[in-house]
Amino acid sequence: MRRPWKAVLGLALLIVMALVLTPLVVHHLRWTQLIEREARDQEVTYRCARQTGAADFDPRLAGPTLLRLIARRKGGKRSWKVVVPGSAPVSATSFPAGDGNIGGSHGLRWISPDGQKKEILLWFSDIVGEFGPDTIWVDHLPKPVPALGQLTCGPVSRTFLSVL
């Protein structure tokens, strides 16, 4: 005589395995898509302003834009452009400026359109959002530059670069 409970038990085991494995496979596919998307070449624009009332960038509390930073990742390399309102973007050279910040830090150097040498220090938030660091804090060198002082920057746009 056949035992129907074995068939029912086998079917139940298959259903349980499907219920357990389906979320794992879906989760894996989502992470794979996220990693592939983040590995693509992209350009992120950060808006920098003076801000009060919050440590991290909050567009509702930020004042007028005093600086824009454009971070470009192409072919595994990162480059930066600096935009002062009313001026064209200027390429900046990155230099090490490690200070033990958890999110990391480095400096940028560039020559402004009027020929002045400029330097800033960037401190990156350890909180990463869809664009990259949620906040970048900027200090101008030499310290202090009373007209600018410390700025807080947040991502405002991201563009994926096409592969040629």
Which 3 state secondary structure label does DSSP give 19? Answer: helix
Say if 52 falls within a structural domain.
Answer: yes
Alpha carbons 155 and 50: distance in angstroms, whole number:
15
Alpha carbons 47 and 105: distance in angstroms, whole number:
18
Q: Which domain holds residue 50?
A: 41-159
Q: Are residues 131 and 63 in the same domain?
A: yes
Say if 11 falls within a structural domain.
Answer: yes
Instruction: Kindly tell me the sign of the dihedral angle through the C-alpha atoms of 19, 20, 26, 30.
Output: positive
Give the per-residue pLDDT at 164.
Answer: 42
Say if 126 falls within a structural domain.
Answer: yes
Q: Are residues 65 and 103 in the same domain?
A: yes
Q: Are residues 29 and 76 in the same domain?
A: no
Say if 164 falls within a structural domain.
Answer: no
Q: Are residues 70 and 92 in the same domain?
A: yes
Give the per-residue pLDDT at 161.
Answer: 62
Say if 107 falls within a structural domain.
Answer: yes
Please list, in sequence order, all residues whose beta carbon lies within 8 angstroms of the beta carbon of residue 105, skipping any fewer than 6 positions away: 97, 98, 99, 121, 122, 123, 124
Which 3 state secondary structure label does DSSP give 40? Answer: coil
Per-residue pLDDT of the chain (164 residues; tens, 9 = 90+): 567 777 778 888 888 888 888 877 777 666 666 555 555 678 888 888 886 566 777 777 778 888 899 988 877 788 899 998 888 899 999 888 766 666 678 889 999 888 889 888 888 877 777 667 778 878 776 665 444 458 888 888 777 665 44
Q: Are residues 18 and 57 in the same domain?
A: no
Say if 92 falls within a structural domain.
Answer: yes
Of 151, 83, 149, the C-alpha closest to 123 is 151
Q: Are residues 69 and 119 in the same domain?
A: yes
Number of structural domains the chain divides into: 2
- The answer to whether 156 and 39 have CB atoms below 8 angstroms apart is no
Say if 138 falls within a structural domain.
Answer: yes
Q: Are residues 62 and 16 in the same domain?
A: no
Say if 116 falls within a structural domain.
Answer: yes
Give the per-residue pLDDT at 38.
Answer: 53
Q: Are residues 50 and 31 in the same domain?
A: no
Give the per-residue pLDDT at 80.
Answer: 92
Give the per-residue pLDDT at 92.
Answer: 94
Give the per-residue pLDDT at 149.
Answer: 56
Q: Are residues 70 and 124 in the same domain?
A: yes
